Amino acid sequence: MLGILARILKVLNSETAPAQIAAAVLLALFMGLSPLGAPHNLVLLLLVLVLRVNLSLFLVSLALFSGIAWLLDPLAHSLGQTLLQAGALEGLWTAMYNTDFWRLLGFNNTVLLGQVVVALVLAAPVYFGVTFIVRNYREHLRERIHKSRLMLALKGNKWGRRFYSIYSSLNH
């Protein structure tokens, strides 16, 4: 756990572009909210591995969003069911249902559709929110936190020292 936190802190403090960090969180959002066996996750996995997004942050975010997906499951089911049974969209769904590609993606599954819609709605706020946080952290917060009493207290603490040694080993 300390190792993961240290890695995240290292990423935040590194020169990695904020967009790359935000992209990792964004991809984790889509993968984490979708059921594990969803076919589109294979494409997302390809993107995660090929694009230079931060893998540590991706894995942490994936775990976080998977937990959120479990909690959101009933809501996603209701949302998906409402959308799939909406009279105005029936023509669209019927056309998609008769297409191999969409059938393969399993769009007609209530939970899958609901969670993908939730992910789409959250995509822009998450991406821009993470970019904003990383930029602000680097410009204003990094030095202040480094010199804060909390950090000094942490360095004096047993666990804090262990965390710091992990963090330092990552930097070297």
Partner 1 sequence: MSQWIRWWGLGLFLALVLLLWLGTNPLIQWSLESAGTQAVGAKVELDSVDLDLNPVTLELKRLQVTNPKAPLRNIVEAGRIEMSLDGYALLRRQFVAENMAVEKLRFDTERASSGAIEGRMFSRKKKDSGESEAGTDLASMLPGVELPDPDKIVTEERERLLGKVDELDGEAQQIQQEWQDHIDRLPSRDSVDNYRERWNELKDKDPLRRAAGVRELKKDIDEDLDTLGGLDDRLKKDRQRLSELAARARELPGKEARRLMAASGLDDGFRGVTRKLMGEQLNGWVDIGLTGYRLVSKHMAGRKAKAQEQSKPPRGEGENIRFPEDQPRPRFLIKRSAVDGVARMADSSVDFSGTIRDITTEPAVWGKPTTLAIDGSSKNGTTLDISGTFDHRTAPGRDQLDFRIQQLVLRDARFSQSSKLPIVLEEGRANIDGNLTVSDGELDGAVNTEVQQTSFAAGGENTGDTARRMARAIEGVSGFRLDLGLSGSLASPKISLDSNLDNIIGQALGDEVRAELAEARTELEEKLRAELEPRLDELAGRQQALEQYRERIDQRREALRSIRP
Site residues for partner 1 per CB under 8 A: 17, 20, 35, 42, 45-46, 48-52, 70, 73-74, 76-77, 80-81, 84-85, 90, 93-94, 97-98, 100, 103-104, 106, 108-112, 114
Q: What is the spatial distance between Cα 18 and Cα 35, in angstroms, rounded to a whole number? A: 28
Nearer to partner 1, 84 or 133 (CB): 84
- Positive/negative CA dihedral, 81, 82, 83, 89: positive
The tally of CA atoms less than 13 A away on the side-chain side of residue 77 is 5
Q: Smallest distance from the beta carbon of 133 to partner 1, in angstroms? A: 21
Q: Smallest distance from the beta carbon of 160 to partner 1, in angstroms? A: 33
Nearer to partner 1, 60 or 111 (CB): 111
Q: Smallest distance from the beta carbon of 35 to partner 1, in angstroms? A: 6
């775990």: which residue's tokens? 63
> 36 with 73: CB under 8 angstroms?
no
